[in-house]
Structure 1
């Protein structure tokens, strides 16, 4: 039996919620932007009216206002977005328990077994669009297809408030003519590399020799070729299933450029403290530490290294992160940093060790568990590292911005 997969995408989600909550914004060019004072002053979302002026996501505010002098800039309200996102998912699960979120504003739904109750996939898609519009006051675009990749592509083809059906019979006509950048997991760097080999559309990719793609791109090349040819058998997760945690990370754009090692240490310690705290909360240990560095030229790169033994304390994670930074120091001052703990495994019971380094690591972990309890009772600033006092402007509340990376779509592919 052929599967019926929907991909529901809430149109211009952040901006739409702001216009819903403030009717005075409706019909006007609106951009939801980060805080310029904290150097987060970029466009996070925009209304269709702003898009018509050439305002794009990721644009600096000053550039967006050059494109649209009458642009209305509003700050994000994440708690409200979470509330609306949860309400939308409650609506989706009234059709099926196979609902897999892909960010706050997108979900896949497997309605294969629901069609006897609610009708064919396109009928369910139209019903969802109508209910979201009526019950939540927002619009969604829905892609209907026989796999997740083409369902997502379909939801991108017509916006706003539209249903697009991609079938086994029409995907060559609908999907293959689209830019290759529209395919899931084809980002700017991959798009540029594909273009060097004359691959500009999804059809170009589909018609390539798969062995040649493997030699150029490795397993990713084969995966993208399968996507382009409709060969995606990944399932839609059950909504109630708890996602397995694959990595725990955190990142920040510093309030000023990080010039000295001391500047970097202050920021790295804050990030590592938050990552280690979340590891302990998840009862997990990491075997690999990864850092990301963006300098003032906006060059971004990531590096990682294996730990000698798994850890869940901030000191071991920081030492690995700072070593990586020193080995891969950029020429320009640093604008933003990220730290990610990878290769997670359950912590399990503590096993006594005779090795000095492991004993030290266990003592540090015990100490930080005590600090967790103090902070939980008296607040984050009840116990602070002395390094954070060197320049209070660089100290950040990293624990408020945890990033957990579950095993997602790529983890389901063979």
Structure 2
């Protein structure tokens, strides 16, 4: 690593994602004592709608300060909190001052506080979006807000209207209740391999890993997919995407792997190197019945034996861990490191908080 070369005495500490997740959950449990509307935005950020709690705990600022104090005293951690009338501005408030700070953004002061900030501070304005905006002289949130909605839409498409609304304080998206989530539209996984895949056996092993992960998640969610999507990236970062819509929904690893391989071998020379493959199950349904099946394209009746086998694998892994059972071709291959193989793929006036661990 470049850091080790420049600083030989550098001490590298391995990440402890499990511990991080544990403390984020504990923080959210504290939040839940003040409102049932706690929506996770990332592993260490959440939005809270405390409108219905103001008569119990005080103003938005008072509740924010109370949360900071409790997290600091009970967990020995600090958080920064943004208090505002919508989610986008609450997020900006949580980033405004660190560590261990409360920033209140109101309808009266948001132009003074936020308009001078770089446009990249705005939610969902990434590097590519910022490049487009900066080419037309938009470098700050205020400059973005001053444009007409139609102008931003022409530059950025539908997403442009969204960030324009955010910049102007017009975000009206609600904070979801604890445990509430958007319906799942697809389930996928991708792997950047530790070395280039070379040949059919490598590809089969890689696709089986992906299908194993995606299939297990489909079955755990009680879902089936009608469409399988595959993306391939070569060492020169050239990408192709292909998909196949099936006559009947599937959720077995075996079916997903066979469909994925069929897609790849029709579109790709197996002797050409592959750096990354993604496999996505789309067109999700809760029923295995679906599609229009004719005499000529009807798939073979799904093997009850295969269904029982994969259900048994799911139960064993649920009890003894992911590595309790695996496929021989996966165990033999060196296309991923063990650590890679462990990673599963994959608002009226309201007081809204965005809390972020410092």
TM range (shorter): 0.7 to 0.9
Answering whether residue 219 of structure 2 is matched by residue 280 of structure 1, we say yes
Distance 1:320 1:209, change over 3 A: farther
8 Å Cα contact 1:303-1:324 kept in structure 2: no
Distance between the aligned counterparts of 1:301 and 1:130, measured in 2? 49
The residue matched to 1:343 in structure 2 has which SS?
A: strand
Equivalent position of 2:299 in the other structure: 359
Distance between the aligned counterparts of 2:213 and 2:277, measured in 1? 14
Equivalent position of 2:53 in the other structure: 114
Distance between the aligned counterparts of 1:113 and 1:126, measured in 2? 17
Deviations 1:327-354 (A, max 9, x none): 4889995444332323322125689966
8 Å Cα contact 2:199-2:271 kept in structure 1: no
Query: Considering only CA atoms, is the larger Rg found in Structure 1 or Structure 2?
Result: 2
TM-score by length of 1: 0.71
Distance between the aligned counterparts of 1:228 and 1:330, measured in 2? 48
Answering whether residue 335 of structure 2 is matched by residue 394 of structure 1, we say yes
Higher RCO structure (Cα 8 Å, ≥6 apart):
2
8 Å Cα contact 1:250-1:401 kept in structure 2: no
By how many angstroms is 1:81 displaced?
1.8
Distance between the aligned counterparts of 2:13 and 2:72, measured in 1? 23
By how many angstroms is 1:264 displaced?
3.1
The residue matched to 1:245 in structure 2 has which SS?
A: coil
Answering whether residue 94 of structure 2 is matched by residue 171 of structure 1, we say no
By how many angstroms is 1:209 displaced?
2.3
TM-score by length of 2: 0.81
Distance between the aligned counterparts of 2:266 and 2:113, measured in 1? 49
Q: 2:245 aligns with which of 292, 307, 310?
A: 307
The residue matched to 1:344 in structure 2 has which SS?
A: strand
Deviations 1:119-147 (A, max 9, x none): 11111111111111110111111111110
Counterpart mapping for 1:216-227 below 5 A: 216-227=155-166
By how many angstroms is 1:78 displaced?
2.2
Answering whether residue 129 of structure 2 is matched by residue 190 of structure 1, we say yes
Answering whether residue 207 of structure 2 is matched by residue 207 of structure 1, we say no
Deviations 1:375-407 (A, max 9, x none): 533876787556436x52126778843345xxx
Deviations 1:295-332 (A, max 9, x none): 545x4867353513433233553455453687488999
Q: CA RMSD in A?
A: 3.4
Distance 1:383 1:97, change over 3 A: closer
8 Å Cα contact 2:225-2:284 kept in structure 1: yes
Distance 1:274 1:189, change over 3 A: same
8 Å Cα contact 2:68-2:80 kept in structure 1: yes
Structure 1 gaps, min length 5? 1-61, 405-414
Q: 1:347 aligns with which of 264, 274, 287?
A: 287
8 Å Cα contact 1:205-1:228 kept in structure 2: yes
Equivalent position of 2:349 in the other structure: none
Distance between the aligned counterparts of 1:165 and 1:296, measured in 2? 48
8 Å Cα contact 1:142-1:154 kept in structure 2: yes
Q: How many aligned positions are there?
A: 340
Structure 2 gaps, min length 5? 347-358
Distance between the aligned counterparts of 2:126 and 2:103, measured in 1? 23
Equivalent position of 2:278 in the other structure: 338
